[in-house]
Amino acid sequence: MKKLAINGGPKVRKKFFPSYDVIDEREIRAVSRVLRSGVLSRFLGAWHPDFFGGPQIQALENEWSNYFKVKNAISVNSATSGLISALGAVGIGLGDEVIVSPYSMSISATAPLFYGATPVFADVEPKYFCLDPKSIEAKITSRTKAIIVVDLFGHPYDAEAVNKIARKHKLIVIEDAAQAPAVKYKNKYAGTLGDIGIFSLNYHKHIHCGEGGMVVTNNDKFADRVRLIRNHAEAVVEKKGTKDLTNMLGFNFRMTEIEASIAREQLKKLPSLIEKRVKNVNYISKKLSTIKFISFAEPRPLAEHAYYVHPFLFDEKLAGVSRDIFIEAVKAELMPTKRREGEGVKINSGYTKPLYLLPIFRKKRGVCPNVEKLHFKELVFHELMHPNMKKADLDDVVKSFIKVAENILELKQ
């Protein structure tokens, strides 16, 4: 008699997992106050006091700056907008090269294209999944102007090594910290480790306001130019007296007062949400440590982890079956998550396809060996450790992995 659900056996779990929902009455009251005020936005695309937005925007930016101990925080309508604004602010232009990660959301690599620059893909670290400093240095040319590092899955990049390379070659470091809020590397927050950093506030991040993002920097010039690009720079620079007009073609990248009011309440919850993620990840990792073909990497020394997702490595030789077959069997034992039912069980083999394989780039395989090995053979990640998961929910995740591991002969046959 078959025991595994993928072969017709009984499932470990027959009900949906709880949704990740961190909105409560505090956000509802905050939004109500904004609605009653009648001020849903106060941005003007002109050099005027309202160029900087309304009271909720300015309060959020001050609170974000204070929390992350950074001089400037600028709200935008998405992390995508933040990356585009950051590249424009640091002066990236036609013919420049920007070193990027092949393993991230697409904008982490395509942002340079908005300014006529060329993305150059470096490989990732096989253990931590962030850009490999050695690969970065090997890709630097006389045209390289910046590096976009990604704190992938919630783990800060190797700031000590990468920043040293950047200083040596006089490069700007732009940090995509969309998945790594509120965690530190050597007592400094991710997002503030480079010259300019970007956070995400869209609906599936640690905290969110629907759609939104934040740009942070200690460089006043960069901050000033991000604000201009965010809000119709071309209509503002003359009266403002801006002399350097490089990339001073602006957009409407503005956040609304409602979104800002929600983000302010969400920011207050961030430490406890990260704490719960870490606790849940540690619980699952310990319970699954008996499976010899699964390994969980610890954070790099002196670094914390925000666990946007919980990644681990799968050894096909030790397992005797492919990663993809094993994970499909685990998923068959479980159920989807509420509100995301159409996405299936939130366990994945590999992350995004290496970005240089997208049609816009059309590069062949072989560009970044580490990322290809991870994506096509080794990497697994799941989202079933978010703060709304109870012990019984975590136990079902653990039981599913152990059940498939103990009955792996069914898969081999």
> Using an 8 Å Cβ cutoff, are 336 and 345 in contact?
yes
Q: Are residues 252 and 304 in the same domain?
A: no
**pLDDT confidence of 387, banded at 50, 70, 90?**
very high
DSSP state of 375: I
Q: Are residues 217 and 299 in the same domain?
A: no
**What's the order of all strands across the beta sheet hosting 172-176?**
72-76, 213-217, 196-200, 172-176, 144-150, 97-100, 118-121
Please check whether residue 20 lies inside any domain of the structure: no
DSSP state of 378: I
Q: Over 80: is that where the pLDDT of 258 sits? A: yes
Q: Are residues 74 and 123 in the same domain?
A: yes
Average pLDDT over residues 300-306: 96
Single residue among 214, 232, 266 that ends a domain in this structure:
266
CATH number for the domain that contains residue 291? 3.90.1150.10
The token pair that represents 378 in the structure block:
């080794």
**More confident site: 308 or 412:** 308
- pLDDT at residue 1 in the model: 58
Helix and strand numbers (H, E) in the chain are 14, 13
CATH number for the domain that contains residue 151? 3.40.640.10
Q: Over 90: is that where the pLDDT of 30 sits? A: yes
Q: Which letter, b or e, does each residue of 324-350 get, where b requires 16 or more Cβ atoms within 10 Å of its Cβ?
A: ebbbbbbbbbbbebeeeeeeebbbbbb
Single residue among 198, 233, 266 that ends a domain in this structure:
266
- pLDDT at residue 2 in the model: 77
Please check whether residue 33 lies inside any domain of the structure: yes
Kindly give, in sequence order, each residue whose CB lies less than 8 Å from that of residue 391, ignoring residues fewer than 6 positions away: 283
Q: How far apart are CA 117 and CA 404, in angstroms?
A: 47
Comparing C-alpha atoms, which of 144, 97, 136 is closest to residue 368? 136
State the helix-helix crossing angle for 323-332 and 391-406, rounded to 10 degrees.
130
The token pair that represents 108 in the structure block:
């982490």
At 187-223, the pLDDT tens digits run 999 999 999 999 999 999 999 999 999 999 999 999 9
**pLDDT confidence of 328, banded at 50, 70, 90?**
very high
CB count within 10 Å of CB 267 equals 21
Comparing C-alpha atoms, which of 254, 318, 266, 311 is closest to residue 291? 318
Q: Are residues 73 and 204 in the same domain?
A: yes
The token pair that represents 116 in the structure block:
């006529």
**pLDDT confidence of 183, banded at 50, 70, 90?**
very high
- pLDDT at residue 362 in the model: 82
Q: Are residues 301 and 257 in the same domain?
A: no
Q: How far apart are CA 67 and CA 149, in angstroms?
A: 22
- pLDDT at residue 298 in the model: 84
- pLDDT at residue 364 in the model: 87
Q: Are residues 251 and 115 in the same domain?
A: yes
Please check whether residue 214 lies inside any domain of the structure: yes
- SS3 call for 348: strand
> Using an 8 Å Cβ cutoff, are 250 and 233 in contact?
yes
CB count within 10 Å of CB 73 equals 22
pLDDT, the chain, mean: 97
**pLDDT confidence of 52, banded at 50, 70, 90?**
very high
Comparing C-alpha atoms, which of 322, 310, 315 is closest to residue 346? 310
Average pLDDT over residues 370-399: 98
Average pLDDT over residues 279-283: 98
Q: Are residues 338 and 249 in the same domain?
A: no
Q: Are residues 49 and 158 in the same domain?
A: yes
Segments forming the whole domain that contains residue 158: 25-266
Please check whether residue 8 lies inside any domain of the structure: no
Please check whether residue 7 lies inside any domain of the structure: no
- Percent of the chain having pLDDT more than 90? 97
Expressed in percent and rounded to 5, the helix, strand and coil fractions of the chain are 40, 15, 45
Q: Over 90: is that where the pLDDT of 297 sits? A: no
Q: Over 90: is that where the pLDDT of 413 sits? A: no
Please check whether residue 10 lies inside any domain of the structure: no
Q: How far apart are CA 163 and CA 187, in angstroms?
A: 16
Average pLDDT over residues 59-86: 98
Measured on CA atoms in the order 251, 151, 188, 67, is the torsion positive or negative? positive
Q: How far apart are CA 223 and CA 221, in angstroms?
A: 5
Q: How far apart are CA 401 and CA 57, in angstroms?
A: 45
Q: Are residues 142 and 96 in the same domain?
A: yes
DSSP element (H, E) containing 302:
none
| Total domains in the fold of the chain | 2
Q: How far apart are CA 16 and CA 253, in angstroms?
A: 37
- Model's pTM, two decimal places? 0.96
Q: Are residues 317 and 391 in the same domain?
A: yes
- pLDDT at residue 87 in the model: 98
